[in-house]
């Protein structure tokens, strides 16, 4: 599932551009943004003030290691 691939990319705890994630996963930007929005809704990730970069919650990132 796409959520698995997105969270795998984010588990390093660093900021990642949504567009870059979409390119690396060969997915559409709206599809990746949907996963990001889901993660943010359930406090699993944070987006920056522009909404273009995302990072995983540190506790979840540690759990996924």
Question: Tell me, what's the pLDDT at 45?
Answer: 96
Indicate the SS3 state at residue 43: coil
Retrieve residue 19's tokens.
């567009």
Tens of pLDDT, residue by residue, the chain (65 residues): 899 999 999 999 999 999 999 999 999 999 999 999 999 999 999 999 999 999 999 998 888 88
> Which one is the CATH code of 2-57: 1.10.1660.10, 2.40.50.220, 1.20.120.1690, 1.10.10.10?
1.10.10.10
Q: Using CA atoms, how far apart are residues 55 and 45, in angstroms rounded to an integer?
A: 6
pLDDT score recorded for residue 3: 92
Length of the chain: 65
Domain ranges within the chain, ordered by starting residue: 2-57
Structure tokens at 33: 């943004």
Helix axes 18-25, 29-41, angle to 10 degrees: 120
């Amino acid at each position: 599932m796409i959520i698995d691939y997105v969270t795998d990319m984010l588990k390093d705890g660093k900021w990642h551009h949504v567009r870059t994630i979409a390119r690396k996963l060969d997915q559409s930007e709206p599809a990746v943004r949907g996963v990001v929005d889901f993660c943010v809704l359930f406090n699993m990730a944070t987006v920056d003030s522009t909404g273009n970069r995302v990072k995983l919650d540190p506790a979840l990132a540690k759990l996924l290691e």
